[in-house]
Amino acid sequence: MSYDTNNIFAKILRGEIPCFKIYEDDYSLAFMDIMPQADGHALVIPKFAATTLLEIPADQLTHTMTTVQKVMAAQKSELGAEGVVLMQLNGEGAGQTVRHLHFHLIPAHLSQLKRHGAEQGDMEKIKALAAKIALAL
């Protein structure tokens, strides 16, 4: 699967599509998933153009995973999550639908998750949760 420069996450990184941003640094961006599997479902993406985990240099991955840790800690403290599901899919065969490396952080027990992409969430609720998590970051 080759990198698609017009994928939705690349467009978000370029500012062509809005997002509910919760954190950003020189290497990564964290924002809310608008098709959440649970309240507070966030995504972390590297700013490096990689489609899968196999394509990102280790130093870039280290920065991205540091952001994953920060967001997860904020979800736990601000949303009272007892656990956070970390999900990352590599390739279409694994269910990856966006051709940009990304990490799902879902503050819920695995058994509580809704099917991803089934329905768009309530934008006002997502915006409020984004503000709450962003304050902790």
Domains of the chain: 8-136 (3.30.428.10)
Identify the active-site residue in 41, 63, 100, 102: 102
The reply to whether 102 belongs to the active site is yes
| Res 124: pLDDT | 93
Sign, CA torsion 5/8/12/16: positive
123-136 and 58-79 helices, crossing angle to 10°: 110
Rg (CA), the chain: 14
Nearest alpha-carbon partner for 134 in 20, 18, 15: 20
On whether the pTM is more than 0.75, the answer is yes
Burial tier of 64 (Cβ tally within 10 Å: 0-12, 13-18, 19+): buried
The per-residue pLDDT string of the chain (137 residues; one tens digit each, 9 = 90 and over) reads 688 999 999 999 999 999 999 999 999 999 999 999 999 999 999 999 999 999 999 999 999 999 999 999 999 999 999 999 999 999 999 999 999 999 999 998 777 777 777 778 889 999 998 898 998 88
